[in-house]
Structure 1
Amino acid sequence: MAHIARTIEIDRSPEEIFDYITDLDRLTEWATMVKETRDLDQRPIQPGTTFSQTVKAAGSVDIDCDWHVKELERPRHVHYEATAPGGGEMQMSQTVTGLDGGRSRVEIDLDYEVPGGILGQIADRLVFEGQNEKEADTSLANLKRILEGAVSDTPRH
C-alpha cells in the first residue's frame, strides 16, 4: 500500500476545522481529488455513515469509491475506509489537535492500494504517487486559505 502523510497548522479552533472537514458536502471546496460526493446517508457524519465519491487519481483518472466512516471522535479524529472497483482500497484518517493561541494542527494520513496487482503498484510508483502527494499538499493549502480567510463566527449548514 502507498502511504501519504501531510500536516498543516491552521489559525482556527479544532471544532471549526473538524466541522468543516467532516462536512462532506463541502469537500469539493478544498479537497482537489474529490470530484463529487453522493449517497450520503446521514449528516453530520457518524460512525457507520456511508457515501460514494468520484475521486481523481494522478490528476486525471476518475475512480468511483464507496466509503464508510469507521471511527469518529468529534472534534479530534475521523477514520474512513473505501473500496473501489477492481480491488482498489483506501483508508484515510484526519486528526485535529488544538495548539496554543487558537491554532490547530491538521494531520491527514492516506493509505491506498490501486487495482491491478503488481502492475498497478508499478504504475502507482511511477505515475500516481507523486501526483497524489501534490494533490494532498494543494488540498491542505486550500483548507488553510479557506478557513483562515473565513470569519470565525460564520454560520454552518
Structure 2
Amino acid sequence: MAPLVSSIEISRPPAEVFAYVTDPAHFAEWQGDVVSARAASDGRTFTTTRRIGPKERTFTQEVTDSRPPVHWSARGLDGPLRPSMDMTLEPLADGTASRITFALDFAPQGIGVALLPLVRRQAAKGAPISYRNLKRRLESGAA
C-alpha cells in the first residue's frame, strides 16, 4: 500500500517548524493520540505512548534520517504495526513560511497484518487533524 501523504503550509520558517515537529517533547501538544513522548539519551531513538482505542501503548522508534531543516525520517522498532514517517520541508515566501509534507506508512508484523486496514483508516482520519493542530500552534506562537 502507498503511504498516507499530507501537506500543509505553515507561516513559520522551515528551521523553526523542523525544530518543533521533530522534538518528541512536543508530540503530545499537536498529535491528538499521543499521551507522552520522550527522546532516549542516545539521541537516535524515542518512545511514544499513544492512545489506541481505550488503551495506551508505548512504542520505540528510531530516527533514520535527519537533515535539518529539510528532511526527517523515523521508523518503528517494535509493536505489531511499526509506523514509519518521512517528513520534508520546503521554504516558501522567501523562507518566512514552510510547506511540510508527511508520508506515514506501516510495516505490519504478526497480528498487525489483520489490524492494518483499521489503523490506516484511523490514521487517514486523525493525521490531518494533528497537522492542523501543528499549524495552529506554530502560527499562534504557542509553540
TM exceeding 0.5: yes
Q: CA distance change for structure 1 residues 39 and 143 in 2, over 3 Å: closer, same or farther? A: closer
For 1:88, the equivalent position in structure 2 comes to 81
Consecutive aligned runs of 4 or more in structure 1 exceeding 4 Å deviation: none
SS, match of residue 116 in structure 1: coil
Identity of aligned pairs, percent? 30
For residues 80-137 of structure 1, the C-alpha deviation after alignment (integer angstroms, 9 at most, x for no partner) is: 011223x4322111111101252210111111034435xx444432x32222112110
Contact 2:32 2:126 in 1 (8 A): yes
**Aligned-CA RMSD value:** 2.3
* TM-score for both structures, normalised by structure 1: 0.78
Larger radius of gyration: 1
Q: How many residues align?
A: 142
- Whole-angstrom CA distance in 1 between matches of 2:66 and 2:113: 30
Q: Counterpart amino acid of 1:52?
A: T
**Cα distance in 1 for residues equivalent to 2:115 and 2:45:** 29
Aligned to 1:100: 93
Between the aligned partners of 1:14 and 1:29, the Cα distance in structure 2 is: 19
- TM-score, structure 2 normalization: 0.85
Structure 2 stretches of 5 or more lacking a match? Answer: none
**What CA distance in whole angstroms lies between the structure 2 residues aligned with 1:114 and 1:61?**
19
| Residue in structure 1 matching 2:106, options 96, 112, 128 | 112
